Every structure is written in C-alpha cells, then in structure tokens.
Amino acid sequence: MVIQGYPDPGPGLRLHLNENTGGCSPRVLEAIRRVRPSDVSTYPSYRDAIAATARHFGVNPDWVLLTNGLDEGILMAAVGHIARTRIHDAETIIPLPAFDPYPNSTAAVGAAAIRVPPGRDFAFPTEAVIDAITPRTRMIFLNTPNNPTGQLIPIEDLRRIARAAPGAVVLIDEAYIEFGGTSFLPELPACPNVLVGRTLSKAYGLAGLRVGIVIGQPPALDPVRAVTLPFNINGVALAALDAALGDAEFLPRYAAQVQESRERLYAACRRLGLEFWPSAANYVLVRVGDTAPFVAALAARRIHVRDRSKDPITAGCIRITAGMVEHTGAAIEALESVVGSEQSS
C-alpha cells in the first residue's frame, strides 16, 4: 500500500518531524470541545479567524490568507504567480539545503529550479542568490531559520534580495521563527513583492490540524488568494487557531524549553565528539557518519530522528527535534548508548 504523508515510525518519541513534543495549549482542547454540530455540518466562515490572525501579527486583515498548512501556501504561491500566468520559461531560486515543498512546487507548475549551494558551515549565500536572479526569475524561496540547519538569514540580506528581484515574488518561510531570530513582518510595508509564511504546526502544536498563514501586500498575495480553494481550513482548525493565538503564556514557556533542549543537545554532542550546528529553530542538525544504522539503533531505543543523508548537502547528518527538556534527556541517553556501542565495537 502506498503511504500518504510520512510513514508512522512506530512506538516511541517522535523527534523526526519537528513537532511540538509537549502538545498544544489546553485552551485549544477546550475550544475543540466547544465545537457545535453546526460548526461541523456547515461551511466555515473565516472572517473572525482572519481578524484574530491579523491582530496577532500586527498586519492588515487584507494581507492575511489562511492555508491548509504552510505547505499549501507554498504550492498556491507557485500556482498563483507562475502557473496562473502561463509563464513557460519561469525559474525559481532555491538556496540549499531546502524544504522539499520548494522544489516540489516548482516542478508542479512546470518551472525550473535554480539551486544555490550554501557557503561554508551552511552560511547563507546572499551574493550567489542575487547573482542567480534573471528576468526569468518568478519566485525565490527563503527559509529562516533554515530547515534542516537552523541557520538564520539576516534581515538586511532578506531586504537586499527583495530589492534585487522586483519582478519576482520572494517567499520568506518563517515556520520556525518563534524559536529564534527576528521576523520580517515589520519590513513588509516597504516590500510589495514579499510573502511571509507562518504556521501553527510547530511552536503552537497544531500540526495535526494543518493551519498555515501567508501574509503579504495585495500585489503579492492576491494571485495566491485567487487560486486557493474557498473552504480550505476546517471549522475545528479555525476554533483551534483562535484559542492557540489567544494563549499568550503557552508560546514563551515552550520556546524556553526548546532553548534549553538545544543547549543540552549541544553539550551532549561535544561530549560524544559529534559535529553539530547551532540552531535558531526547534531542532539540531548533527553529523553522525553512516546514518542508516545510527537511525535504526536510535529507533530500537524508541527515539525517532530524521535521516538527512539523502540530500548530498547534508550527507551523514541526522536532524533531532529539540522539544520538552524531559524528551531531550531521553534522546541524549539514547545518543550516548548508540555512540558508546559504536565505540566499543
């Protein structure tokens, strides 16, 4: 049977998809319990959810589009700005390493992906990205913090790229910005060709409900809105969105757990002699060498991590979610056991 999505890794601690390991806010569960039969049997209204989202992010409601996960927003941006305009020689620019939906969405609309490799230690290649811009460039995908490295793109570099590509749409994916770094949202009024993508899947713990957000001025957002299905977010997810954004204490508490977990993972990697990269997100990229037996050994200890070795840019690397400190402690125990077993064999 063909599996939709990612295969279930089985029992154990899920540290392979950057989910919130502590779950969602209790207010979210309370809001879901209050969902009425009519909320399920009728098509949802998005007005209140969009207004709440706009207030939360400090933007005009007309600049907000809710999507079925940020993945849908990425795909619809490509459809709206490339496929809908029937541009046959369109190109997108994708700095590496990259989130899979960027090349996948590029291929889906028949465009050519111009891949730009990173600098040393995954440094963001600002000059190379700017040099890659041509009249055929229709979209530039920028991910800050980067998945899977956790590296940030400086705000000034984001500005420079947006200015250098007035004929293209720059999509800045901030799926993990709540864990570190500065959002580009305050810069949007000066950047009509920029879209900022946000999600409630990670920091807010709503991955199972699929709530994404695309924010931008009408010139960049309207073509995306024009191709997005009218009832793409279900009523239960809308109730959860309002409750998640309304809990002002939940996010800082979880972000603090993530920060401590990252530091503990760094310390463990230093003790174990594993190369790693400091991260601004809720995960850490670690080089372990031969990944397949390493990942299998962790899975046998009920710790599931992401094997990143299929991408040649991150060969020999695994990505470990940094969530609740207690979960990170269990992951570190498993890491120590696996490395110890390798060293003694």
- In this prediction the pTM is 0.96
SS3 (DSSP) at 231: coil
CB atoms < 10 A from the CB of 71, how many? Answer: 20
Q: Where are the beta strands (DSSP E) in 186-324?
A: 194-199, 212-216, 275-277, 283-287, 303-307, 317-321
CATH number of the domain at 13-22+250-344, please? 3.90.1150.10
Q: Which CATH number fits domain 26-246: 3.30.70.20, 3.40.50.720, 3.30.420.40, 3.40.640.10?
A: 3.40.640.10
Residue 317 gets which letter from DSSP? E
Domain ranges for the chain? 13-22+250-344, 26-246
Q: Which residue has the tokens 């005009």?
A: 60
Q: Measured between alpha carbons, how far is 78 from 62 in angstroms, rounded to an integer?
A: 20
Measured on CA atoms in the order 279, 283, 287, 288, is the torsion positive or negative?
A: positive
Q: Measured between alpha carbons, how far is 291 from 320 in angstroms, rounded to an integer?
A: 13
DSSP string, 54-93: HHHHTS-GGGEEEESHHHHHHHHHHIIIIITTT-SS-EEE
Residue 204 contacts by C-beta under 8 Å, 6 or more apart in sequence?
20, 24, 25, 244, 245, 250, 251
- CA 158 to chain centroid, in Å, comes to 17
Which ranges of 119-249 does DSSP label H, i.e. alpha helix?
126-132, 155-164, 218-227, 235-246
- CA 240 to chain centroid, in Å, comes to 19
Q: Which strands sit side by side in the sheet containing 13-15, from one edge to the other?
A: 13-15, 303-307, 317-321, 283-287, 275-277
Q: What is the pLDDT of residues 60-101, one digit of tens each?
A: 999 999 999 999 999 999 999 999 888 789 999 999 999 999
Q: How far is CA 341 from CA 92, 207, 318, 335, in A?
A: 45, 35, 18, 10
* Ordered per-residue pLDDT tens for the chain, 345 residues: 777 878 888 889 999 999 999 999 999 999 999 999 999 999 999 999 999 999 999 999 999 999 999 999 999 999 999 998 887 899 999 999 999 999 999 999 999 999 999 999 999 999 999 999 999 999 999 999 999 999 999 999 999 999 999 999 999 999 999 999 999 999 999 999 999 999 999 999 999 999 999 999 999 999 999 999 999 999 999 999 999 999 999 999 999 999 999 999 999 999 999 999 999 999 999 999 999 999 999 999 999 999 999 999 999 999 999 999 999 999 999 999 999 876 666
Backbone angles phi, psi at 13, to 5 degrees: -90, 120
pLDDT of residue 112: 97
User: How buried is 125 (Cβ within 10 angstroms: 0-12 exposed, 13-18 middle, 19+ buried)?
Assistant: middle
